[in-house]
């Protein structure tokens, strides 16, 4: 589903951070180059349990935060992705946890 051979860097504004199961999600508005149209991305993370093990807290992101996310995009070309790492407004860099959520 995700193209793990591709990395895309998204710089944008958080419109939602959903601390949910089986996956958490970052919803991100990413402005186009030269003030181009905003493209909206849905970024999948691990589950809250796994994210906690990677140092995440449920309040680490909120509406309006500016972040830089490195992601593996969907192979389908839709604006969805799997998080690799994200730089938070306070400069911390968090990964996507030590394992995939709810999978063996």
Partner 1 sequence: MKTLIAAALVAVGVSAHAQVPPPDLTGVWAPYRGGRGADPKVAPPAASPLVLKPEYAQPFDAKRKAEADAAAKGEPIASGAVACVPYGMPRMMSVALYPIEILPTRGQITVVTEAFSEVRRIYMNVPQLAIDDVPPGYYGRSVGRWDGDTLVVDTVGIKTTVPAYQNMPHSDRMRITERIRLVAADFLHDQITIDDPVVLEKPVTYTLAYRRLPGYEMVEFVCDNNREYIDDKGGTHLRVRDR
Residues forming contacts to partner 1 in the complex (CB under 8 A) are: 1-5, 15, 18, 20-23, 25, 27, 29, 40-42, 44, 47-50, 52-53, 74-76, 78-80, 98-104
CB-based burial of residue 97 (10 Å sphere; 0-12 exposed, 13-18 middle, 19+ buried)? buried
Nearer to partner 1, 17 or 86 (CB): 17
**CB atoms < 10 A from the CB of 81, how many?**
24
The encoded tokens of residue 46 equal 């691990």
Minimum CB–partner distance for residue 30 and partner 1 (Å): 12
Minimum CB–partner distance for residue 91 and partner 1 (Å): 26
Cα 96 to Cα 35, 36, 104: the distances in Å are 30, 29, 16
The label of the residue with tokens 């394992």 reads 99
Nearer to partner 1, 64 or 91 (CB): 64
Minimum CB–partner distance for residue 80 and partner 1 (Å): 4
């Amino acid at each position: 589903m995700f193209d793990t051979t591709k990395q895309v860097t998204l710089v944008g504004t958080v419109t939602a951070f959903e601390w949910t199961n089986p996956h958490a999600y970052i919803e991100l508005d990413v402005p186009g180059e030269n003030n181009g149209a905003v493209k909206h991305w849905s970024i999948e993370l691990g589950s809250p349990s796994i994210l906690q093990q990677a140092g995440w807290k449920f309040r680490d992101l909120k509406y309006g935060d500016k972040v830089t996310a490195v992601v593996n995009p969907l192979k389908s070309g839709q604006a969805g992705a799997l998080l690799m790492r994200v730089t938070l407004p306070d400069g911390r860099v968090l990964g996507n946890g030590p394992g995939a959520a709810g999978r063996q």
